Amino acid sequence: MSGTLVLDSEALSKLSRRHRDMAVWLDVARTLDLLIVTSAATLVEARDPEIVQAAFDFAVSLTKVRPITEETARSASKLLTAEGLHGDTYAIDAMVAATAHAEHGDVTVVTSDVDDLRRLCHPRIAVEAI
């Protein structure tokens, strides 16, 4: 495994809709032998009742779901504090960032929230728009 691709809720939602942007990211992940990861919190935010459950479940099955442990929550809290942020507006983004920080090697976050994730992620983590 040469690196990790971390999906935020919009990326996971587009994956469950089989959006072509995510098809490109899946091809990149396969070509580069990247692990595809998402945060357990992302599953809650990404779940759209208009998407058939089986399609959502299939999209999730393509990822390794990382749990929100106390360590992850504390890391997310520290990231928010370092940026002077707080509250539910940034909470899941911070958990995605903390999930990305826990990964080793090259890490890329695919997100619709580029500005917030760039603030919350260390410079070693690439943040790419979906």
Q: What is the pLDDT of residues 23-47, one digit of tens each?
A: 999 999 999 999 999 999 999 999 9
CATH code assigned to 3-129: 3.40.50.1010
Q: What is the pLDDT of residues 64-100, one digit of tens each?
A: 999 999 999 999 999 999 999 998 999 999 999 999 9
pLDDT score, position 2: 75
* DSSP letter string, 53-76: HHHHHHHHHTSEEEP--HHHHHHH
Percent of the chain residues past pLDDT 70, beyond the cut: 99
Asked if 3 and 32 touch (Cβ cutoff 8 Å), the reply is yes
